[in-house]
Amino acid sequence: MEKAFPRIDLHMHTVFSDGTDTPETLLPCVREAGLVFFSVTDHDAIGACEAIRTLLKPGDPHFLPGVEFSCQDDLGKYHILGYGYDPASDAIGAVVRLGHEYRMEKLGKRLRMLRDRFHIVFPESDERALYALPNPGKPHIARLMVQYGYAGSIRQAFETVLNQLTVPDLYVRPEEAIKGVLGAGGIPVLAHPCFGDGDQLILGQSLNDRVERLMRFGLMGLEGYYSGYTEKLRQEVLALADRHDLYVTAGSDYHGANKMIRLGDVGFPDGDRPVPALLRFIGDAFKA
């Protein structure tokens, strides 16, 4: 008899990156959503995972420490997820520190570009608050733009201003992220593989070539179920994972109030059964 699809969500964010939930407020939401397996995958940060571990109670959903590294090289942008790593390992810590350093440097560059190119200036107290965040990013700036009337919505802030602010050469490279996850005993996975920079779609041979290249660095899985996929995209990623014998994961990309995405919404079709590669990932990643 085939197993029913488990209530799982392995891609979510907290205030340690660009989500709005603290670990303390996220865990009750995870329980309420009926999840059986979950992971927190903040951008370039693992602090929320350490906090979640201290909050778990007997009978809570199974938790897997996660992270999402924002990566780029001369061939494009990538989001590399890492699961089941040892948080005390310097291999993962080194990549987290590098990603944080780049984020802080990009924050300063973006604030200067906002001032020089768009005449957008925030009070010093708000800028200090940005620098005090664990991992500030464009969503935090967008909220300030809305607050001070520079944009009517977060989406408008991105479309009219923030997406025009390019900060080159300040990204963790995908091979660095994969090496860090592997060095900490974790499983590196490519998040939402079809989605590149902005509205870019990566399909067919281009997607296959990208995955094969990352596999040479040690990539072990693909995010096969994702809230933003159409059925066609989902089937393409699942077929690619099957072709290369890769793990499959499932994630919503929940950001709390920052995105209209529900916990547990991983785009799994009603009545379907999970592919074996997802069940294999659950068995291998959660066995500890």
Of 122, 138, 164, the last residue of a domain is: 164
The 10s digit of each residue's pLDDT in 55-80 is 999 999 999 999 999 999 888 899 99
8 A C-beta contact, residue 125 and residue 147: no
- Strand pairing report for 221-226 and 247-251: parallel
Quick one: 106 and 145 in the same domain? yes
| Bridge-based pairing state of the strands 76-83 and 187-190 | antiparallel
Q: What percent of the chain has pLDDT over 70?
A: 97
On whether both 184 and 281 belong to a single domain, the answer is: yes
Residues 110 and 236 in one domain: no
Buried b (16+ CB within 10 A) or exposed e, 31-65: eebebebbbbbbbbbbbbbebbeeeeeeeebebbb
Q: Which of 164, 185, 212 is the last residue of a domain?
A: 164
- Domain membership of residue 1 (yes or no) is no
Q: 253 lies in a domain? A: yes
User: Is the domain of 230 the same as that of 119?
Assistant: no
* CA pair distance 17, 68, nearest whole angstrom: 10
Per the structure, the complete domain to which residue 265 belongs is given by 8-97+172-285
Number of structural domains, the chain?
2
| 163-185: pLDDT as tens digits | 888 877 788 999 999 999 999 99
209 and 189 part of one domain = yes
Q: In the listed set 131, 164, 197, which residue is the last one of a domain according to the structure? A: 164
Residues 183 and 231 in one domain: yes
